[in-house]
Homo-oligomer: A and B are copies of this chain.
């Protein structure tokens, strides 16, 4: 088990009361003084900090875009990714039973501890200190957000566009499946009969191939509708 001072270096915040940090990395299987209340607190600070970061990022994102992207950034999967990057599992206190069954690698336990750490910083030093820690550990994720992250996927956008124009849904069909099992490639067609549009997309899985075809179809539909 690594010392808590290493953890403090990684998150960029030094606790006055190290017991608070210790509590944040204590799972309920280890002691009555566990991290669940701090996790509750951290979850709400995280939501607020990430929400604000997205809000500031671009004034064109609608409330729906903001909510969708935030949900992706604060979900267990993303928190787990953040927690792994600073190797939270090396600092966790947990009961024997939990350890034996692989608790120290369980996504939910690592994500919860990550949130509890945010909560502990907020508890000791206030919102801005917690904000600094969160933006630091989330930096690799926030800096990789692309405009596409904020948009609905092409299939959804295409369907909504067609619906708005009272046109039927597009039809997707697999044209070809190529290659051996471990290097399979799919070619899908997206067809919108009433507009005489048919596009095709290729990818290593069917869903992605459909999305690629939908993206091309979306552009074709937009061109038709604008030039009508």
Contact = CB atoms under 8 A, between A and B. Distances in A.
Interface of A: 36-37, 39-41, 44-45, 47-48, 51-52, 55, 59, 61-63, 66-67, 70, 122-123, 126-128
8 contacts: A37-B59, A37-B63, A40-B51, A40-B66, A44-B51, A44-B52, A44-B70, A127-B128
A52 B41 contact: yes
Contacts of A127: 48, 126-128
Contact of A52 (B66, B67, B122): B122
A44 B48 CA distance: 5
Contacts of A41: 51-52, 55
Interface centre among A39, A63, A67 (most CB of B within 10 A): A63
A37 B62 CA distance: 7
Number of copies: 2
Contacts of A39: 63
A192 B216 CA distance: 66
Given A127-B127, A127-B128, 6 more contacts: A37-B61, A37-B62, A40-B66, A44-B52, A45-B48, A55-B123
A39 B70 CA distance: 14
A47 B127 CA distance: 13
Contacts of A52: 41, 44, 122
A14 B122 CA distance: 26
A72 to B, nearest CB: 15
A63 B28 CA distance: 12
3 smallest A-B Cβ distances: which pairs? A127-B127, A44-B51, A36-B63
